[in-house]
Chains A and B, each alone.
Chain A
């Protein structure tokens, strides 16, 4: 009970913090926002226009070209979007959706149930479903009784939050454009594509038939790709752009001090010290557990992310229903406790050293925080070397499990807890690092228990508590801190910033004061 109250308190605080910029604007101010050309600096070139291939590189375009079935408020409350109503069956084995009337795709075609069915079909296809595929694992089948209704059936009773996450993650794509969606956007979103210059940027213009009243405010939306964070912030300071999206925490902290508006969404990433428990000393549970205490989380947050984020011992953001701050206090940096666990492992001094910490050399925060851990390990009597790899070479090693330990961020940490299994280290089957059969059956069982907890609040809470306990006990992933992705730094002349639960960039409400 106490835990729930604290969670509610945190979420309310978060909601207030997130809504503060909007609240200060007020309805009158929002109406006063003027249109024009909104110029946005981004730090990455988008991969493609497929909303089912959602990743940070296309965070800036997806919610501007598409709408999802439902939206979440920053505090995680579901809101209608393309679906105006959703009725979850009492036995939680199906959900019935009522689709919004009068919505058109960018091509001019009417939005109907056929596009939702085509989107579900794509999402359920292991080859085409990409990021959505794992979320579709609970879905048995679907049907469309009429043009405005879609019914999705589940394989087993599904927790309500998991159903809502699925609806929020489903972004309808026009049926006839589904095969070409990687190159030609096929959504209902507030902006349409005008042009794209690969490596330079893209230009969008307001969708004149957009269904949300008086949106979008800005008529034109211009994204410019910058390869250097410093160049993007310099462009903002010189007035060449109005907003920097997804820049570094360090720049955001500096610009905030200089009077710029900084907005952090509720969907951060969590940095996780990933341990390959199939290798060397990491097969030993006590040795792994020592790493819960070897992470100097406060220093990692301060040096790596300019203090913007939160130290955590579990892979959840505060908006997650499984978030529990008690673990952060219990597993604070403590060399003595770590040394006791190392001693309890029974491993010799020679056995615990000699492994390398894989480091993403392209990512400055990763390089810095890896050196902090290297220093902590040295103090604990574990001298190690850093294995620096760049770009694709690092990603290949990370996703292929070719490492003893490494830092890697995980996403979906503000959603239904079992969504964490979309991250490679936390996968329960086909885990590319830990392989099959999964070496931590207690963890697999804990995830299954969470997925099956469709009953009352007490059952759900017990399932979350059990998962949290198992995660720190098995210690193959040791979270250190959350940090902001999709940070928005805006000049004082723009207003109406809306925060997205996944920290995607929403331009439709932004205008000029």
Chain B
């Protein structure tokens, strides 16, 4: 536990040493804090004031107001909750299903691999957005449905990465050693292999989080996301585009927050990949399996 914490602290320190990832982390922290503590702020995303509709940004309403006179900043802050909950939930679903599938397929490499990978291929063959829309049509329009749809769409990514990593590791000495000491398949997969493939999976989780936020916004933009009046960045973009002439900031500001959030996740994901790749190279150069 201490080792993991130390590794995480080290990783964080190395991320913060770079300007791009540091700024991205700071922005995401701000968004996350605003989303978590939105209830403590003097913001009401549902309060209508038709007389004040489509007002430009001002001291009273920093992001202006929407067509129903609601404060856009409030809706952006509460919309972050929608986006982050969807991202977190989708990553959780994708990881909980995808990683075990990849572990089993990669570890055994027999008919189980073929069967599981064909199922994953079927999922991969379906365009994410179409699949999500079909699922929402069945489950109904809600945040839960959007979250499940995005989560299922993310399963193949985790499964394929886990499988590829396990296939590369399963014949290495440290795994053979565990096996020779009587380690069963379950033990080897969960206690021996999984800790050693976590790095790419963490990167995948971050990448999927950004995809999930974008997909949730896309679904809302297409009119099948979280139903109004629940604030959602995609829904704000969808409605705001109709008022581009009268109130350009209505669509632009939520769009900017959405873009920055995706960009931040992406920047962190890339930085992590670079750092972990460098570690991998260093480790390989020293002794094979040295980190293990």
Instruction: List the interface of chain A (C-beta within 8 A of B).
Output: 230, 250, 254, 296, 299, 302-303, 361-362, 364, 367-368, 371-372, 374-375, 385-390
Query: In whole angstroms, what is the CA distance A254 to B54 when docked?
Result: 14
Say whether B229 contacts A386, CB under 8 Å: yes
Query: In whole angstroms, what is the CA distance A131 to B46 when docked?
Result: 42
Q: Which of A296, A374, A390 has the most CB of B within 10 A?
A: A390
Say whether A302 contacts B50, CB under 8 Å: yes
* B-chain residues with CB within 8 Å of residue A230 when the two chains form the complex: 241-242, 244
Say whether A371 contacts B50, CB under 8 Å: no
* A-chain residues with CB within 8 Å of residue B68 when the two chains form the complex: 303, 368, 371-372, 375
CB < 8 Å: which of A296, A299, A361, A374 contacts B223? A361
What are 26 sample pairs from A and B whose C-beta atoms fall under 8 A apart? A230-B242, A250-B242, A250-B243, A254-B246, A296-B50, A299-B50, A302-B50, A302-B53, A303-B68, A361-B141, A361-B223, A361-B224, A362-B223, A364-B239, A367-B228, A367-B239, A368-B68, A371-B68, A371-B228, A371-B229, A372-B50, A372-B68, A375-B46, A386-B227, A388-B141, A390-B224
A221 to B: closest C-beta gap in Å: 29
* B-chain residues with CB within 8 Å of residue A250 when the two chains form the complex: 242-243
* B-chain residues with CB within 8 Å of residue A367 when the two chains form the complex: 228, 239
A334 to B: closest C-beta gap in Å: 16
B52 to A: closest C-beta gap in Å: 12
Q: Using A303-B50, A303-B68 as known contacts, say yes or no to A374 and B229 having CB atoms under 8 A apart.
A: yes
Question: Is B48 among interface residues, defined by CB-CB distance under 8 A?
Answer: yes
Query: In whole angstroms, what is the CA distance A386 to B68 when docked?
Result: 16
Instruction: Closest A residue to B136 by CB, please name it.
Output: A390
Say whether A386 contacts B228, CB under 8 Å: yes
Question: Is B181 among interface residues, defined by CB-CB distance under 8 A?
Answer: no
Total number of B residues with any Cβ neighbor in A under 8 Å: 19
Question: Is B111 among interface residues, defined by CB-CB distance under 8 A?
Answer: no
B252 to A: closest C-beta gap in Å: 16
* B-chain residues with CB within 8 Å of residue A372 when the two chains form the complex: 48, 50, 68
8 A Cβ contacts from B228-284 to A: 228-229, 239, 241-246
A149 to B: closest C-beta gap in Å: 53
**Majority secondary structure of chain B interface residues (helix, strand, loop or mixed):** loop
* A-chain residues with CB within 8 Å of residue B244 when the two chains form the complex: 230
Question: Is B71 among interface residues, defined by CB-CB distance under 8 A?
Answer: no
A104 to B: closest C-beta gap in Å: 46
* A-chain residues with CB within 8 Å of residue B245 when the two chains form the complex: 254
Query: In whole angstroms, what is the CA distance A374 to B229 when docked?
Result: 9
Query: In whole angstroms, what is the CA distance A389 to B141 when docked?
Result: 8
A27 to B: closest C-beta gap in Å: 38
Instruction: List the interface of chain B (C-beta within 8 A of A).
Output: 46, 48, 50, 53, 67-68, 141, 223-224, 227-229, 239, 241-246
Query: In whole angstroms, what is the CA distance A487 to B241 when docked?
Result: 21
Say whether B242 contacts A364, CB under 8 Å: yes
Given A362-B223, A386-B228, A387-B227, 19 more contacts at CB 8 Å?
A254-B245, A296-B50, A299-B50, A302-B50, A302-B53, A303-B67, A303-B68, A361-B141, A361-B224, A364-B239, A364-B242, A371-B48, A372-B48, A375-B48, A375-B68, A386-B227, A388-B141, A388-B227, A390-B223
A263 to B: closest C-beta gap in Å: 21
Q: Which of B46, B242, B243 has the most CB of A within 10 A?
A: B242
Instruction: Closest A residue to B223 by CB, please name it.
Output: A361
A368 to B: closest C-beta gap in Å: 6
Instruction: Closest A residue to B243 by CB, please name it.
Output: A250
Instruction: Closest B residue to A390 by CB, please name it.
Output: B223
* A-chain residues with CB within 8 Å of residue B229 when the two chains form the complex: 371, 374, 386
Instruction: Closest B residue to A303 by CB, please name it.
Output: B67
CB < 8 Å: which of B67, B141, B224 contacts A368? B67
A302 to B: closest C-beta gap in Å: 7
* B-chain residues with CB within 8 Å of residue A361 when the two chains form the complex: 141, 223-224, 227
Q: Using A303-B67, A368-B67, A375-B68 as known contacts, say yes or no to A388 and B228 having CB atoms under 8 A apart.
A: yes
Query: In whole angstroms, what is the CA distance A230 to B243 when docked?
Result: 10
Identify the 10 closest CB pairs spanning chains A and B, nearest first: A299-B50, A388-B227, A375-B48, A361-B223, A388-B141, A371-B229, A303-B67, A254-B245, A386-B227, A368-B67
A73 to B: closest C-beta gap in Å: 35
Instruction: Closest A residue to B226 by CB, please name it.
Output: A388
Query: In whole angstroms, what is the CA distance A61 to B53 when docked?
Result: 37
Query: In whole angstroms, what is the CA distance A390 to B241 when docked?
Result: 19
Query: In whole angstroms, what is the CA distance A303 to B54 when docked?
Result: 10
* A-chain residues with CB within 8 Å of residue B67 when the two chains form the complex: 303, 368
* B-chain residues with CB within 8 Å of residue A385 when the two chains form the complex: 227
B144 to A: closest C-beta gap in Å: 14
* B-chain residues with CB within 8 Å of residue A254 when the two chains form the complex: 245-246
A226 to B: closest C-beta gap in Å: 15
Instruction: Closest A residue to B51 by CB, please name it.
Output: A299
Query: In whole angstroms, what is the CA distance A302 to B246 when docked?
Result: 14
Instruction: Closest B residue to A362 by CB, please name it.
Output: B223
Query: In whole angstroms, what is the CA distance A374 to B244 when docked?
Result: 25
Query: In whole angstroms, what is the CA distance A303 to B223 when docked?
Result: 19
Query: In whole angstroms, what is the CA distance A388 to B229 when docked?
Result: 11
A357 to B: closest C-beta gap in Å: 11
Query: In whole angstroms, what is the CA distance A433 to B250 when docked?
Result: 38
Query: In whole angstroms, what is the CA distance A362 to B48 when docked?
Result: 22
Query: In whole angstroms, what is the CA distance A299 to B68 when docked?
Result: 9
Instruction: Closest A residue to B242 by CB, please name it.
Output: A364
Instruction: Closest A residue to B137 by CB, please name it.
Output: A393
* A-chain residues with CB within 8 Å of residue B223 when the two chains form the complex: 361-362, 388, 390
Query: In whole angstroms, what is the CA distance A386 to B227 when docked?
Result: 7
Instruction: Closest B residue to A255 by CB, please name it.
Output: B245
* A-chain residues with CB within 8 Å of residue B241 when the two chains form the complex: 230
B73 to A: closest C-beta gap in Å: 18
B47 to A: closest C-beta gap in Å: 8
Query: In whole angstroms, what is the CA distance A389 to B223 when docked?
Result: 9
Query: In whole angstroms, what is the CA distance A230 to B68 when docked?
Result: 21
Query: In whole angstroms, what is the CA distance A388 to B219 when docked?
Result: 13
* A-chain residues with CB within 8 Å of residue B242 when the two chains form the complex: 230, 250, 364
* B-chain residues with CB within 8 Å of residue A388 when the two chains form the complex: 141, 223, 227-228
* A-chain residues with CB within 8 Å of residue B224 when the two chains form the complex: 361, 390
Say whether A303 contacts B246, CB under 8 Å: no
Instruction: Closest A residue to B133 by CB, please name it.
Output: A390
B99 to A: closest C-beta gap in Å: 34
A76 to B: closest C-beta gap in Å: 34
Query: In whole angstroms, what is the CA distance A230 to B251 when docked?
Result: 15
Query: In whole angstroms, what is the CA distance A367 to B227 when docked?
Result: 10
Query: In whole angstroms, what is the CA distance A302 to B48 when docked?
Result: 14
